[in-house]
């Protein structure tokens, strides 16, 4: 049973560029959440998608946007990249109405130069 | 509002000795609490969870945690550390909402070092 798959694993972007990160949830899961983990910090919630809609959003600017597709996979888009956007971006999937917990992917390491 | 405070940024123990990682939480309502572990260049792995059942929660790899409402604590323990336990540990609280799991609030993490 495949877990959460994220792509790419690493990428380097220039300040001002745009980036798209992708996530395939664990089989059977229908909810996807995105987290940003800066170096030496705990992950911070960006937003959550369920039924192709953004259900909750953390304290992140509108430069951060997302999408969920009918097959439950998701994309995270970041526009006008800043140096401070350099971080590990984690995708977590879960099944709505189940309280067991999230399954996390290994993340995408984004470096903005 | 939900938040967690991990009281130690670094903990060092010798192999075979007990492990104690401390966590205090703040929650507006009955919380769901978790401990996750993160090994280098790996994703987060769930160790255990508390969701208002038994206050002593047993997890994987011999870890357990005790929910103490009066102390708002959820400390993680293991009787005997193993070299493979060296990793970053995160205490997490969730604002579970109805039909979705809700967002997770992470502590800053505790780096566990295990000496041979």
pLDDT, tens digit, 9 for 90 and up, residues B43-77: 899 999 887 778 899 999 999 999 998 999 999 99
Contact B90, A88 (CB under 8 A): no
> pLDDT at position B80, please?
97
> pLDDT at position B24, please?
97
Record: contact B101-A35, CB cut-off 8 A:
no
Identify all chain B residues contacting A35, using CB atoms and an 8 Å cutoff.
Answer: 104, 106
DSSP-derived pairing of the beta strands B32-38 and B87-94: antiparallel
Strand-pairing partners, residue B48, are B35
> pLDDT at position A98, please?
72
> pLDDT at position B95, please?
75
Q: What are phi and psi of A82, to 5 degrees?
A: -115, 160
pLDDT 10s digits, A41-82: 999 999 999 999 999 899 999 999 999 999 999 999 999 999
> Which residue in chain A is spatially nearest to B4 when comparing CA positions?
A42
Contact B22, B6 (CB under 8 A): yes
| pLDDT over 90 (residue B32) | no
Identify all chain B residues contacting A105, using CB atoms and an 8 Å cutoff.
Answer: 43
Mean pLDDT of chain A: 93
């Amino acid at each position: 049973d495949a877990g959460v798959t994220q792509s790419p694993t690493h990428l380097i972007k220039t300040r001002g560029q745009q980036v798209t990160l992708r996530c395939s949830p664990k089989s059977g899961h229908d909810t996807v959440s995105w987290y940003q983990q800066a170096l030496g910090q705990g992950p911070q919630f960006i937003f959550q998608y369920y039924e192709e809609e953004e259900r909750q959003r953390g304290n992140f600017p509108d430069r951060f946007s997302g999408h969920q597709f009918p097959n439950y996979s998701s994309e995270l888009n970041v526009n006008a990249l800043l140096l401070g956007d350099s971080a590990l971006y984690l995708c977590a999937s879960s099944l709505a109405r189940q309280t067991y917990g999230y399954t996390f992917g290994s993340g995408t390491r984004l470096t903005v130069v | 509002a939900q938040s967690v405070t991990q009281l130690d940024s670094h903990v060092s123990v010798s192999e075979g000795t007990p492990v104690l990682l401390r966590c205090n939480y703040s929650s507006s309502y009955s919380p769901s609490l978790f401990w996750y572990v993160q090994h280098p260049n790996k994703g987060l792995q769930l160790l255990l969870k508390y969701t208002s059942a038994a206050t002593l929660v047993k997890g994987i790899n011999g870890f357990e945690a005790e929910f103490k409402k009066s102390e708002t604590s959820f400390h993680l323990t293991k009787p005997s550390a193993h070299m493979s336990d060296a990793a970053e540990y995160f205490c997490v609280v969730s604002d579970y909402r109805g039909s979705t799991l809700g967002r997770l609030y992470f502590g800053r993490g505790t780096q566990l070092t295990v000496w041979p």
